[in-house]
Structure 1
Amino acid sequence: MNPLGSTDLESRLRTIEDKLAIYDLIASHPPSADTGHAGYTSSVYSEDGVFDRGPTLDGAEGAKAIAAFIQRAEHDEAIRSGLAHFAGLPLVDLRGDTAVVTSYLMIVHLDHDGPPRNLPNHGASTGYRIHRVVVNRWELERRDGRWMIAKRTLLPVDGSDLQQELLRTGLNELYFS
């Protein structure tokens, strides 16, 4: 067997394994947030991790402080009211032991004030309301063989230059650098 072919195959397999691990990491955010699983959250952020929620919402630094967000009474109230986070398929820019991920996240909740509507074979529901749609930039690092979140920036989809730049940067870094 050609050693170059083996190295190429090993490199390609490593890329696939890394991307799958990153997809799992990003996909784990909604169920962890929607169950208030602070232990999980603190385990995936680096100790010096940063959670930046843009200029209008508070953020946090450090895994424990970030995990505390989903331990807030207000977050528990949102969960019990029918909170659901829906993540879009992430764009992964793999750079060896670091990666940058760009993605969308939609925050949805049960519409307790909506009129009940019946859907054949699915029962009645007052429906759901889209509360917010955000764009995310996840900056990841491989530490001790696993992917960790070093920084997460999220901004509302509001047409602002800041939000547009976050999306543009994700595309440009992956396809034009």
Structure 2
Amino acid sequence: MISKKEYAPYFKQYMQLVDIENVTILENLESSQKEFESLLRNIAKEKHIFSYAEGKWTLKELIQHIIDTERVFCYRALSFARNDKTSLPGLDQDIFVENDNANDRDYYDLLDEMEVLRKSSIQLYKSFSDEALLRIGVASNNKMSVRALGYLFSGHQIHHLNIVKERYL
């Protein structure tokens, strides 16, 4: 069971979307990616650059955000698992989105990139020992365990899939 001390209070909104008690990190990573693929591969082309309100991200930008966030979190997980005690910086998602050129990219290339990235994340987590999963590091001035990050990948992805279902379709 993951302690609330293993992640910042902000991340509770994502952690509560995954079954931490009965489902492994790897199973969560695989199932959330399958749901992601199932929903997003079949969305009509006119929705690819749709934004549900002024100033909100397009669907392409949302997918790129999930990709960028998982990459940053993978680096954090790797650093913490390797017992690097360096405090890592935060992530300003708005700056990332402003500079990601997602709307100029092919929608299906974004989905393919996410699929490859998730496979890489799964392999990364397969490489971690039980001891490494329990290691804790600091990012954005908050403590976070390697295993909490693993569940966070899925929770973050599910959070955004829920938004897609509610506001983009």
Q: Confirm or deny a common fold (TM above 0.5).
A: no
TM-score normalised by structure 2 residue count: 0.28
Task: Please tell me whether Structure 1 or Structure 2 has the larger radius of gyration of its CA atoms.
Answer: 1
- The structure with higher relative contact order (CA 8 Å, sep 6+) is 2
Which is richer in helix? 2
TM-score normalised by structure 1 residue count: 0.27
